[in-house]
Amino acid sequence: MAARTLLRPTGFVDSPFGHDGKVERLAGGLCWFAAAELLTVEDGRRTGTELLPVEGIEARFDEDLAAQWQALTAPRSPLQLGERTVRLDQPQVMAIVNATPDSFSDGGQFADAAAAAEAGAHMSAEGAAIIDVGGESTRPGASSVWEGDEIERVEPIIRQLAGGGAAVSIDTRKAAVMEAALAAGARLVNDVSALTFDPRAVGVIAASGVPVIVMHHQGDPQTMQDNPRYGDVLIEVYEWLEERIAACEAAGIARRKILVDPGFGFGKSVAHNLELMNGLTLFHSLGCPIVLGASRKRTIGALSNEAPVDQRLGGSIAFALKAVDQGAQIVRVHDVPETVQALRIWRGLKDQALTPRI
């Protein structure tokens, strides 16, 4: 495979004031960067790197790099989820509602659909922009759920939440569940298989016109954590998502309707997850909003004396802040009020930095 060059923004500054021509805005959001790392890639691995200042960098671009630059600096279109508009020029919280008995963190938390819907409505009131409803656990080792059971779990929750005005997404790999959820009022599909599990799924998304989150994974939930291997995890995940975006576009899904998720914890070791977090800005050159879901995951426990799932709030917020500091548009979380508060402080700091001093 021929060598190529990828762009990763870095050298972040608090504000653009006094730096005309020396900084660039990342994806139309609240982050500004002063440098970019040019990564030489061959056969799915980094073979070289060069750090360049933003000032004058475009003179070095060929057609491919110019397209990447345009993609990573262009504003992300807001999500129109029914009557709700979710702006992506600032980070947003996606709340998790698992209507499952076996999810790794909150399985069996809700006694029935009414209780789950009430919890989702409460999360919306606490500041979550999107409520993500799932009826099948995709934790490591989880077994697949029959689509009929999955629909029975999620449909009444979605119907009640959407009827109350919440922006709802459906977390599923199955086309039939997507169809039932969309009929019930969901307006976003979150597919951890990136539309590869069910051959009908990509057609359902294309026909419906709703946005879709495509997530990287290695293997299936039953085996994905047995022994995940990569030559260069950052580059392999990037190129895999690049291929999935192309496949979605070929099927009739507009790129502006595609969001990407690097799949934290889905076929990755602790080291893989940390490398993806550190290199997260690379994914902006795909031209799609970034979704990051690290809430309460195993990596946090591994880095904090094996803290159990219910004691991983601090680590979850640390990852959320790391993500939004790199321009991620959506963080998917269990702990809504705490994450919303953390992002409000982050936003206050940004707003102050962007207040002219003269």
Q: Where are the domains of the chain?
A: 4-73, 79-351
Reported as a single tens digit per residue, the pLDDT across 332-349 is 999 999 999 999 999 999
- What is the Cα–Cα distance from 202 to 161, expressed in whole angstroms? 25
Does the active-site annotation cover 332?
A: yes
- Average pLDDT for residues 110-139, to the nearest whole number? 90
Whether the per-residue pLDDT at 353 is higher than 90: the answer is yes
> What does CATH list as the number for 79-351?
3.20.20.20
* Residue 159 confidence (pLDDT): 97
pLDDT class for 139, splitting at 50, 70, 90? Answer: low
**The token pair that represents 184 in the structure block:** 């019930």
224, pLDDT greater than 70:
no
Closest CA to 273 of 223, 311, 230: 230
Q: What average pLDDT does this structure show over 21-39? A: 98
Exactly one of 297, 298, 312, 350 is catalytic; which is it? 297
Is the model's pLDDT at 142 over the cut of 80? no
Give the residue with greater pLDDT, 1 vs 69.
69
Residue (of 9, 4, 15, 23) closest to 71 by Cα position:
9
Q: Which pTM value belongs to this model?
A: 0.94
Q: Copy the structure tokens of residue 167.
A: 């922006």
Which is catalytic among the residues 173, 296, 332, 350?
332
Q: How far apart are CA 356 and CA 358, in angstroms?
A: 6
pLDDT of residue 112: 84
> What does pLDDT average to over the chain?
93
Our answer to whether residue 297 is catalytic in this structure is yes
Is there a contact between 216 and 194 (Cβ–Cβ < 8 Å)? yes
pLDDT band at residue 140 using 50, 70 and 90 as cut-offs: low
Where residue 1 falls among pLDDT bands split at 50, 70, 90? Answer: low
